[in-house]
Structure 1
Amino acid sequence: MSKNKLKTEKPESKKPKAPAPNPDVLKKDKEPEVKVKELVKDERTHKVMGVFFLLLSVYCFIAFTSYLFTWEDDQDKVFRYSTKELLIGDVKVDNLLGRLGAYVSHNFFYNGVGIAAYLFCYFFFIIGVNFIVGRRVFRVWRNVKYIIFGLLFISMSMAFVANGADFPWGGALGNALDKWTSGFVGKTGTALLLLVAGFSWLIWKFNFNFKWPEKKVKPPKPAPVAPVVATSPVPATPAANMQATAPVPEPARGNSLKGNVSMAPQLQEEEEEVEEIPMQLIEKEVEPVMPAHVPYMPPVAPTPPPQPPVAKMPAPPEPEMIEEEEEEEEDPGPLLYVEEVLEEAPAPPKKRNQPEEVAFEIKETFKDEEDDTEELATVRPTVPVDPYDPSLDLRDYRYPGLDLLENHNADKIIVQDTGELEKNKNQIIDTLKNYDISIQKISATVGPTVTLYEIVPAAGVRISRIKNLEDDIALSLSALGIRIIAPIPGKGTIGIEVPNVKKSIVSLKNLLASEKFQSSTMDLPIALGKKIDNENFIADLAKMPHLLMAGATGQGKSVGINTLLVSLLYKKHPSQLKFVLVDPKKVELSLYKLIEKHFLAKLPGEDDAIITDTKKVIHTLNALCIEMDLRYDLLKEAGTRNIREYNAKFTQRRLNPQKGHRYLPFIVLVVDEFADLIMTAGKEVEMPIARLAQLARAVGIHLIIATQRPSVNIITGTIKANFPARVAFKVSSKIDSRTILDIGGAEQLIGQGDMLVSFNGELVRLQCAFVDTPEVESVAEFIGHQKGYPDAFLLPEYVDDKDTDGKELSLADRDPLFEEAAQVIVQNQQGSTSLLQRRMKLGYNRAGRLMDQLEAAGIVGPNMGSKARDVLVKTESELQEILNDLL
């Protein structure tokens, strides 16, 4: 045999072939693995246990209560029959819960703790509530301690009180404790022990304040004291000792009151600075008691000897004075501090003569009295008036109801398939492992349209590595719109937002019906949508204070505007809010025409309150600027800083309407397509918009601007700087996202109301609330069919300078408001252009032209610079003669 042949045969002899599988023998099925740990941690298991404990609590309560009335009949049967007979036999019992109820109650009462058995019902109840809710509503350990104490104390107390009774009030445990304790310390000792235990528990639980009433120190009569204080350089009487410790007084009454208090001499080594505080407390206590002696002592004020005091305040009265002051001031802090210093912290003798600190203490004493004087001045007798209510003009106005809106089958978020969540989780983990990135933890939060997966990377993993895998994760999940947040602000996790396969609609009705919106006290509450964790996002437009919205066509901008407007309609009264609607598309905001006499504002003389013409838009924006200036003038005259303070003063009737003051409603300017206005009007629109954005928030004018072209030539830097709150729907590129939000991410949204909101320095992803066109029509019709104001809210009239250029001043072609302006000037005898602006709601240019015409007619004098013009006509009869001559 050859050598090669031996080499090939040798391994074959060592490795015999495995026998072929027998097709007749079936493989043993793999038994499913039961994960007990996961079953115990399952939320459903907790809820089932919670229901069980709640039912057990109710069961025991009913059984125990029935036992109180049926124990005589049932106890004999429990004693007579065995446990087996009670459970299996046909013994008839009177307990409402049958033989089991009678048996359980007998053991808890007779063989257990008596009437204290009801504590077990409470224990089962708190356990059940905690399990069902899924969080610690009741502190179990603290309640267990109280329950254990109650079982021992109540059972023993009931056994002691009801000793010899037929009913087992204390049960076997209470009888045993009572028998042992009575034999050990006797009946009287047992009673005392129970009283001490009961009161000790009450004191520990409620911390009662036991305070012995202190006797007030009665000051002696001051008549014999005054000569001693005035003549004796070294005090020899208790009153003189008290006077010696006082500092150089500022007011006279302080010395008189201090001289009226009897004190005993003390050692000179005691510290003077600390004891002056109790003296002031004595001063406050004595002052209301002896007001008749106050005029007696002023001549003594300049006579105190200049040498250092030789006598001190006695120690015994000090705590009494301090306790009395605590009762009056209800501020134990400073007094306890003074008491501690008096006992422990004597100051060095060099601090005895410090008039600055003494004077400071005296000022604090008088501060309360000065405050009292101010309060008296504030509440001086005035004619009581009712506060002004602007809503009384439409007292019968009814807010729209939620029945006008639809649910859109969105009562609950569609719970994603557990298998899909598990699959996405595994895909994310595997993708990261392929790039040697390990994670410690991953969790999922299911939202209306997006699920947020939060991962905690292992130590040493760079966040940038995970951020760069955005496209790879999207590829592995086969999903569109993956967005990675690295890291999530305020958390130590990295977020991966994955669109849901099954998306749910967020209904506006659900947001408006929420407690967060209904109980909101915001000035202008708006319901935008829901967060990923299903939390309602309710914001205050007055604090934004302006909102910039952008997004591609068909991504939800118009629905978002309707959501904001309907939110405000559901919360505000027509007297509190007005809308200025600009709709270059001419069809989006036409639904709100029905509420013109309730909520809309327009220019004087205009037929349609919804502005569609570009030239009228320019006039309206400038009219809003005039309204803003007028409101700032009103705030200045009223001495207020914002619209809330001004309206509060006006409703309290502290402002005179005859001087031009009026209630100021909030004004919300809504521009549906801002890009079209910029393309057609340019700077004529941008400048008033920028001015309103910069200044109008304090006077209650707020802007909502929407555009589908978030480019830098549309949303300029001036506009962006004054719109801190921004909403971005899906856009086409990252550049557009950076233009609107200053950060990317909007290009990765999935559309249909999916949006990013930048507010208060945070970037939040929301699903915009949906309200359909028929719903908006229903709300508008409901409001429009009610009684409204005679006309829409009129903005100040604006006349373009281009329309008046080249025209000479002529009384034959005078302003239509000439006669009204003349009457205002003559009635107020003040030739001021700002007066015409405030009283007639005019712009500065028109008010100036009216003043020039009044000068040409001889009603006012020439311009005097910053001063008001002289009014040449003094009476209305003279004015009427001038007006008749001009006809």
Structure 2
Amino acid sequence: MLFEILTTTVMGSIAAKAFIAKQNLTDNDSGKIQRIISLSGLNVTDGKDTLTTQLVRKQKYEWGWEYKYRIPYGRSFEDYAAKLKNIEDGLNNRRQQVDLKIDKNFLKNILQLNKTKLTNQKEVEMSFDGLLCIRVYNSPLPSTVDHLPGKGWKVPVGQTRDQNAFKFHDFEKIPHLVLGGATRYGKSNFINSMITSLVHSEPEHTHLYLIDLKGGVELSDYERIKQTESIAYEPEEALETLKAAYERMRELQQEVRRKGKKNVQQAGIKDRYFVIVDEVGELNPAEAITREEKAIKIECQRYMSQIARLGAGLGFRQILATQYPTGDVIPRQCKQNSDAKLSFRVQSAVASRVVLDNEGAECLPQITGRAIYQTADKREIVQTPYITNQIIKETIEPHIRLDQPKKEEVNNVNSTPQQPSRTNTVTFEKA
């Protein structure tokens, strides 16, 4: 009888503590955060006075807690961003203790099994809007998300903090998109996911103008599908592709005007044209070596700016991606007309501002696929979906034009050296 009572008490205590941990009914972490900040050397000593990081307000949400701090003079947001890992590790460097006054060996196995459940791993995000904002989430985002098919002109962006919510980008509402992120963090994977989604959802009305300035390593799979109108791997080819897109845009402009409508939606035109440039930094005139190369890149940027300004109502959508977000690598007109931005982890706050016009992307965890999706009225962290080569192959295979050779095959034929004609003869004379 005594054993049953003791067992019931132990199991009840374990269940109660697990429930508390799961529902986040324990005290908030504001005091612990300030302690970690102090031990990390972020407070400022001014003579005999110590200027501390002051908590202004805190608020509890369904996902966790948000804390707002006023930072002391002499500190910047970058100082705190550099200590983000310290704060996150400090908050997770504890284990919930079960206060049971029983023999140490009693129910040892049960306690061991519940040890993981009683550990509440948290994820921390940091931003600055005049005040230092620290968000502590009850549970982290998944590090891997499977690819989802798109819905018409809506393409999957990623899993949000709400485990039941998946974010989609609607190209009918926001025509242009800017992508940024350091190499190997998921930018090219997202481009492949986006193209595959469009081909899957709208195969008859999707038209692609692809520019892969990484030498074709990312977009060559789509070279021979019927949706691809033009594809380029070098700046000279990029100019031809952009010019073809621009001329088609002008044709549509005249067609819409003849129908007396203002845009393709009103005119009943279902086709949509996607100009996708992977590594737009290669078209930056400032990086040109020769005068001819500079002229080509200036012309490319002129076409991109025209498409960004005029293309939205004519069914043109422009997606510009770069892994070198510095200075004017993204043409100013293109960026101003792109109301949606997706940034993976970057190396510095400057790079984050180039893509997002704000800091934060440099604070993303080093997780492939983790990104900030930002529109005019909202900013959200997502885990973008991972697409496999098998999914890409299965999606595009029915659309491959078998009668069209690959570019490299055409180039090989054109570059084959011609055999010299045998018009000259050699005459042997008797000595």
Instruction: State if a TM-score over 0.5 links the two structures.
Output: yes
The equivalent residue for 1:754 is 370
Task: Return the alpha-carbon distance in structure 1 between the equivalents of residues 138 and 300 of structure 2.
Answer: 39
* Corresponding residue for residue 322 of structure 2: 707
1:645 paired to 2:280: no
**2:282 equivalent to 1:676:** yes
C-alpha offsets along residues 498-557 of structure 1, whole Å, 9 cap, x if unaligned? 697894311113xx3xxxx6xx5xx61111111122310012112211111011111111
**Secondary structure of residue in 1 paired with 2:145:** coil
**Alignment RMSD (CA, Å):** 4.0
Mapped pair 1:477 → 2:88:
yes
The corresponding residue for 1:554 is 184
2:157 counterpart residue number: 528
Do the aligned partners of residues 482 and 716 (structure 1) sit closer, same or farther apart at CA in structure 2, a change above 3 Å counting? Answer: farther
**Which gives a bigger RCO, structure 1 or 2 (Cα 8 Å, sep 6+)?**
2
> How many residues in Structure 1 have an aligned counterpart in Structure 2?
334
How many angstroms does 1:619 deviate by?
A: 1.8
State the SS of the aligned residue for 2:233.
coil
2:228 pairs with one of 577, 597, 600: 600
Structure 2 vs 1, CA of residues 506 and 688 (structure 1 numbering), >3 Å: closer, same or farther?
Answer: same
Structure 1 residues 527 and 32 mapped into 2: Cα distance closer, same or farther (>3 Å)?
Answer: same
Matching residue of 1:667: 273
Return closer, same or farther for 1:769/1:789 CA change in 2, 3 Å cut-off.
same
Say whether residues 1:741 and 2:340 are aligned partners: no
Considering fraction of residues, name the structure with more helix: 1
Q: Are residues 1:723 and 2:352 paired?
A: no
Scaled by the length of structure 1, the TM-score of the pair is 0.34
**1:769 paired residue number:** 385
Deviations 1:88-145 (A, max 9, x none): xxxxxxxxxxxxxxxxxxxxxxxxxxxxxxxxxxxxxxxxxxxxxxxxxxxxxxxxxx
Q: 1:587 aligns with which of 217, 233, 245?
A: 217
- State the partner residue of 1:544: 174
1:577 aligns with 2:192: no
1:566 aligns to what SS in structure 2? helix
Bigger shift: 755-764 or 737-746? 755-764
**Are the aligned partners of 2:30 and 2:67 in contact in 1 as well (CA < 8 Å)?**
no
Q: 1:624 aligns with which of 226, 239, 245?
A: 245
Name the aligned partner's letter for residue 677 of structure 1. Answer: L
Offset at residue 753 of structure 1 (A): 0.8
Pair 1:789–1:702, CA change in 2 (3 A): farther
Greater strand share, structure number: 2
Post-superposition Cα deviations, 1:644-695, rounded to whole Å, max 9, x if no partner, equal 1112xxxxxxxxxxxxxxx562111111111113245421111000010000
CA distance in 2, matches of 1:665, 1:572: 9
Match of 1:507 among 119, 123, 146: 146
Q: Give a deviation string over 1:228-250, Cα, whole Å, max 9, x none.
A: xxxxxxxxxxxxxxxxxxxxxxx
* Residues 1:601 and 1:482: Cα distance change in structure 2 (over 3 Å): same
Deviation digits for residues 20-39 of structure 1 (CA, Å, limit 9, x no counterpart)? xxxxxxxxx9x979999x96
For 1:776-855, list aligned pairs within 5 A.
Answer: 776-784=392-400
* Shift, 1:567, TM fit: 1.6
Q: How does 1:125-274 map to 2 (within 5 A)?
A: none
SS at match of 1:562: helix
8 Å CA contact retained: 1:454, 1:494: no
Taking only the aligned residue pairs, the percentage that are identical comes to: 20
Shift of the alpha carbon at 1:639?
Answer: 0.4
**Cα gap change, 1:617 to 1:716, in 2 (>3 Å):** closer
Contact 2:56 2:70 in 1 (8 A): no
| Change beyond 3 A, Cα 1:702–1:501 | closer
Superposition map of 1:435-474 within 5 A:
437=55, 442=60, 445=63, 453-455=64-66, 474=85
In the alignment, what sits opposite 1:496?
135
The answer as to whether partners of 1:431 and 1:473 remain within 8 angstroms in 2 is no
Q: Is the 8 A contact 1:485 1:494 kept in 2?
A: yes
Cα deviation, 1:377-400, whole Å, max 9, x if unaligned, reads xxxxxxxxxxxxxxxxxxxxxxxx
Amino acid at match of 1:711: T
Q: Counterparts of 1:16-165 in structure 2 under 5 Å?
A: none
State the Cα distance separating 1:768 from its structure 2 match.
0.8
How far does the alpha carbon of each residue in 1:322-350 deviate from its partner, in whole angstroms, 9 at most, with x for none?
xxxxxxxxxxxxxxxxxxxxxxxxxxxxx
Match of 2:195 in 1: 565
Report SS of the residue matched to 1:542.
coil
The answer to whether structure 1 residue 430 and structure 2 residue 32 are counterparts is yes
Distance 1:618 1:469, change over 3 A: closer
Residues 1:473 and 1:715: Cα distance change in structure 2 (over 3 Å): closer
Distance 1:508 1:709 in 2: 26
Counterpart position of 1:611? 232
* Paired residue type of 1:571: S
Deviation at 1:745, TM superposition (A): 0.4
- Residue 497 and residue 767 in structure 1: after superposition, are their counterparts in 2 closer, same or farther (change >3 A)? farther
Aligned counterparts of 2:81 and 2:363: Cα–Cα separation in 1:
11
Separation in structure 2 between the aligned mates of residue 713 and residue 568 of structure 1, nearest angstrom: 29
